[in-house]
Amino acid sequence: MQAAVQPEQEPVRTLPRAMREVCVGQGGENDPTTDPWMQERVGTKRYLHKKEWAAWLEVCRPAFLGYGASSQAERCRRQLVIMDLVRTHLAMGRGEAQRRRDAVAGQAARAAGARNGIPQDEGAQDEGVQDEDAQARRTAARVEMLCMLNAAGRAARMLTRDGEDLVRSSAAEVVREVDGLYPQEDVSTFPQPPLPVTVVGVEKDEVSRAIRRRLTRGAAPGLDGWTRELLYPLTQDSALLMEVTVLTADILNGNVSEQMAHRLRATALTILRKPNGKYRPIGAESVWAKLASMVAFDRVVEASRRIFAGVQFGVGGQIGGSSRVDLQA
């Protein structure tokens, strides 16, 4: 007897119907290629002194408090407000942002040069360095560090200061090379979970622990400007921590609008061209996406170590950050 054909199930990664009805952007905002929010990188403060925490919490309270008790449509609206908090209230002027990047990048570049045994006499570069090999190594190390710190303007000035030709690549060439490094697969071919997808609950202790101990300190922000240092003060207020927990649970369960999902996945890329002509992309991910993935991964870390026992991830055979990226993908 022939078995009845089961109707094709809707992929679990699609937005729930209720979300599709209430979380629809206007004016092409759901298209990541036309969303103006993604076309601009705003220089923002990455950390706050402890004396500034109280003022920052007052800025955050109107957006966060009441989030968990809101309707789905209101949650969608608040999600976008939260993503804009840092860009709106902690934005720096162009001059201030450039000075901060130059200061941090210069310090980091000098430290990198010192670790590589490169002379660090600042006056030697202006007077002329006798050892051309040392000068070339110093310049290469500093340019790479400046690019990693998103100080591309200063890196370009350093390359052209001594009359060197700046290596240029067309946008089409860079996109083609990056696509070759990270080929995109058809998501419809991904296997579905063997068990029905259930709602994932999140405890505030999990979120607080991930922010305090797991999120990388001093990491570069994504396009939204949020960093671990800006999230940490929210863990000191029980009401705000509860709302952050609810938002984290919404991200894990996919209860976000398409526009919010695009912004969570968006990455600020810096592309470095290596001496062999290939490209090295460096991405700064949204701290909210990092937080959600860390909370989820912490729950299955022991099982992951057993499953991936024969594969080395990180150091000492432990499941590390690279495996988290593979599992998340």
The pLDDT averaged over each successive group of 10 residues in the chain (329 residues) is: 40 40 49 80 89 95 94 94 94 64 59 55 45 74 77 72 58 82 81 74 92 83 92 95 95 90 87 79 89 90 79 49 44
- pLDDT, position 235: 95
What is the reported pTM? 0.66
- pLDDT, position 115: 55
Domain assignment present for 102: yes
Counting every residue written for the chain, the total comes to 329
| CA atoms of 325 and 313, how far apart (whole Å) | 11
Domain assignment present for 269: yes
Domain assignment present for 53: yes
Tokens of 213: 């101990």
- pLDDT, position 111: 59
Tokens of 143: 């340019």
Domain assignment present for 287: yes
Rounded to 10 deg, the angle between the 258-265 and 287-307 helix axes is: 70
Q: Backbone phi, then psi, for 282, in 5-degree steps?
A: -120, 120
Rounded to 10 deg, the angle between the 152-161 and 94-115 helix axes is: 60
Domain assignment present for 169: yes
| CA atoms of 167 and 126, how far apart (whole Å) | 23
- pLDDT, position 302: 83
Domain assignment present for 1: no
- pLDDT, position 33: 72
Tokens of 288: 């909210």
Q: Which helix (H) or strand (E) holds 283?
A: strand 279-284
Q: Backbone phi, then psi, for 140, in 5-degree steps?
A: -65, -45
- pLDDT, position 3: 40
- pLDDT, position 272: 80
Q: Which amino acid is at 15?
A: L
Long-range contacts of 93-101 (CB under 8 A, 24+ apart): 93/43, 94/43, 96/43, 97/43, 97/44, 98/43, 98/153, 100/43, 101/43, 101/149, 101/150, 101/151, 101/154
Domain assignment present for 149: no
Query: In the chain, what is the greatest distance between 2 CA atoms, to the nearest angstrom?
Result: 90
Domain assignment present for 16: no
Q: Which domain holds residue 250?
A: 33-108+164-179+201-306
- Based on the structure, what is the number of domains in the chain? 1
Nearest one of 218, 238, 243 to 228, comparing CA atoms? 218
| CA atoms of 170 and 308, how far apart (whole Å) | 40
What single DSSP character describes residue 44? Answer: B
What are the respective helix, strand and coil percentages of the chain, to the nearest 5? 55, 5, 40
- Contact between 29 and 76 under an 8 Å Cβ cutoff? The reply is no
